[in-house]
Homo-oligomer: A and B are copies of this chain.
Amino acid sequence: MKNGNLIVISGFSGAGKGTVVKRLVKDYGYSLSVSATTRAPREGEVDGKDYYFKTTDEFRNLIDYNGFIEWAQYVDNYYGTPRKFVEEEMAKGNDVILEIETQGAMNVKRQYPDALLIFITATDAKALRERLAGRGTESEEVIDKRMKRAAEEADYMEQYEYIVINDDLDRCVQTVHSIILSKSCERERNIDFIETTKRELKGN
């Protein structure tokens, strides 16, 4: 059986990538990788659904046992993508989505050169700031910090194979699904098929 695709989705905070990913899982049945973290659960977060919540010792132990595809430390907390789930799902032929930061995405690409990297963005910087402000729950300071973080992440955009503008949720979800569907038809993934077809036809 053909292995499933590994799909890495990143994007600016405020570009709505979380919602896009949820819809991809719901509408099209993609497998979603759940990250592990040492940060404390926020209200309403469920262990094993939002994150796997780990102690720092547990997390470090998993690092030692090669338990993560990628991991990183932000401020005082660890975040990582558990290897087992991803590899098992792909072996079953299921397409797996990782929703991770740009740095993590680069690490994944190094280990899995076939991974499909998709970056979700707003129409422009103005729209991004409006969306961050629009939540109404954040202070100017937090918004500025997020915009600064977005500027850092933007440097990685050109490492992504596809850039999808999320100005319409339905269309954005459909476009990302289309990108994944079309992937398996790329010439580069069908070199063996082309060679076999040529051989069969010449022998006919």
Chain B min CB distance to A143 (Å): 10
Chain A interface helix/strand/loop/mixed: helix
Which of B154, B160, B164, B203 is A197 in contact with, Cβ under 8 Å? B154
Q: Tell me if B190 and A181 are in contact (CB < 8 A).
A: no
The stretch of A40-48, A83-91, A92-100, A171-179 that contacts the partner chain: A171-179
Other-chain contact of A187, B162, B174, B202 (Cβ < 8 Å): B162
Contact count band on A: 35 or more
Inter-subunit contact B162/A182 (CB<8 Å): yes
* Residues in A lying within 8 Å of B, measured CB to CB: 121, 124-126, 128-129, 147-148, 150-151, 154-155, 157-158, 160-164, 174-175, 177-179, 181-182, 185-187, 190-191, 193-194, 196-198, 200-204
Q: Which 4 A-B pairs have the closest CB atoms?
A: A125-B200, A178-B178, A151-B201, A179-B182
